[in-house]
Structure 1
Amino acid sequence: MHIILVPGLWLDASSWGEVSPALEAAGHRTHALTMPGVGASGAESAGIGIADWIAATVDELDRLDGAVAIVGHSGGGNVAYGAVDARPDRVAHVVFLDTFPPGEGGSISEFPVVDDVIPFPGWDFFDDSDVADLDGQTREEVAARAKSVPEQVPTDPIRLTDERRRAVPATIITSTVPEAQIREIIEKAPSWAAELAAMQRLDVIELGAPGDATGHWPQFSRPGAVAEAILRAIG
């Protein structure tokens, strides 16, 4: 199977570098993406929004023959789901790595803008639970590789038009929210999680064992476990 790997904000294709080998060894072909405008100046990335990131993912999907799975980490989950909406008949499985599927009009989040781009805000910006499993060396290495993203991308609303997306098999690989809490959200179906509750074929895989909390960037802290979870998700 082809596996398209969509990074989260501030990351590029190299962020999957320690995950891809295990997927390839299992017989799959990986396609790690770098999104348009990542690392570009404000002038160079002006006008680039979430629709452009989705379009780039769809272009990669259209280039491939045979079964395709899409994996999206963090904000990349919005991109992955947008591609599923655009090509629900072409995606065999969608995997959300520590993120939820967005609803119509949903966006990623807001972050400080500097010189018309959004630079990596530093580890102190995030909750302790998100970064607790990243040692000092890993934090330094990832931060040094982090790149700015276009100003519009994190706040752009996603547009979803094809309800067939909800029938595409999906898996959430969760590293910060326990499965029981996710199931409770699905049962209560608050408005912000309406899309999550509407998904027809959804599995949840907890990356860490009970009491073994993992952070929001497990592709750096435990890439082998991430690869194993992806393989389990897509069968």
Structure 2
Amino acid sequence: MAEIVLVHGAWSDGSAWLDVIPALHRQGHRVRAAHLPMTSLADDIAEVRREVTTFSGPVMLAAHSYGGAVISGAAKDNPQVSALTYFAAYVPDEGETVPSMNALFPGAPGKDVVMSHENGWSSLDPDRFHYALAADVASDRAAALAAVQRRARAECFLAPAGPGAWRDLPTGYAVSTEDRILNPDLQRWFAERAGADCVELSASHYSLLSQPEAVATMIDKIAARSE
């Protein structure tokens, strides 16, 4: 049994993990899903650190998409964090930003889904959401997800990352091979650089929704490595 904090990606919230959580419960794990403020990378890291302290023992962190940058920072110099698992997620090294990481490989076909707004906020084009992020999810559910998305500030993506805790902890990575927003080759590069235990899922960016059992299995596997 592990204690696990789940971290969502940008423009989302903790409900992105709702299909994964029951599978983790069946495996015997205790779980909390963070809700990031999406106001800055530092604020999001601080929120995950607070969630970790709700447990008394070792905690594993699992993240989707932008949440990978968050857990990489939240786990650094945090003796309570025991392992990390990434799902179609960014795994930054010190000084890297989301744009600088994206520039390492050609952009995926859905990259133009992001819409910029005034005062540094952004959201996702609801008409492109299904194609870009969740092509293997039922269209009505993808439309609902697009409708409830949250806005995010540019400070989340433009702030340079600090040293990544993935260098020091058991790490897993699940590549989404059909991802249209985060290049699968960039995902493979992240996994290789981190020395991660890697699996490939034939899934869109939202493997959490289309393959929740496989996601839970990967988390359970890395949790066992950290015991």
Name the TM-score, length of structure 2 as normaliser.
0.79
1:129–1:60: structure 2 CA closer, same or farther, 3 Å change rule? closer
Tell me which amino acid in the other structure corresponds to 1:206.
E
Identity %: 27
1:83 and 2:74 matched? yes
Q: CA deviation at 1:181?
A: 5.6
Tell me which amino acid in the other structure corresponds to 1:81.
S
Q: CA deviation at 1:171?
A: 0.3
Tell me which amino acid in the other structure corresponds to 1:220.
L
Q: What is the distance in 1 between the residues matched to 2:8 and 2:132?
A: 20
* Aligned residue in 1 for 2:84: 94
Unaligned regions of 5+ residues in structure 2, if any? 103-113
* Aligned residue in 2 for 1:226: 215
Cα pair 2:63 2:71 within 8 Å, conserved = yes
Unaligned regions of 5+ residues in structure 1, if any? 38-47, 186-192, 208-212
The runs of at least 4 consecutive aligned structure 1 residues that moved more than 3 Å come to 109-112, 128-131, 180-185
Cα pair 2:60 2:82 within 8 Å, conserved = yes
2:123 to 119, 125, 136: 119
1:203 and 2:204 matched? no
What SS is found at the alignment partner of 1:55?
A: helix
Q: What is the distance in 2 between the residues matched to 1:4 and 1:184?
A: 24
1:123–1:156: structure 2 CA closer, same or farther, 3 Å change rule? farther
Deviates more, 1:114-123 or 1:14-23: 114-123
Q: What is the distance in 2 between the residues matched to 1:124 and 1:59?
A: 34
Map 1:24-43 → 2, pairs under 5 A: 24-37=25-38
Cα pair 1:129 1:176 within 8 Å, conserved = no
1:135 to 130, 135, 138: 138
Tell me which amino acid in the other structure corresponds to 1:214.
A
1:51 and 2:42 matched? yes
Q: What is the distance in 2 between the residues matched to 1:63 and 1:184?
A: 33
Map 1:123-202 → 2, pairs under 5 A: 124=128, 130-160=133-163, 165-176=166-177, 185=189, 197=193, 199=194, 202=196
Q: CA deviation at 1:50?
A: 0.2
2:53 to 48, 54, 62: 62
Cα pair 1:5 1:33 within 8 Å, conserved = yes
Q: Which entry has the higher C-alpha Rg, 1 or 2?
A: 1
Q: CA deviation at 1:151?
A: 3.2
1:181–1:158: structure 2 CA closer, same or farther, 3 Å change rule? closer
Map 1:2-13 → 2, pairs under 5 A: 2-13=3-14
Q: CA deviation at 1:156?
A: 1.8
Tell me which amino acid in the other structure corresponds to 2:219.
I
* Aligned residue in 1 for 2:109: none
> How many aligned residue pairs are there?
205
Q: What is the distance in 1 between the residues matched to 2:188 and 2:50?
A: 36
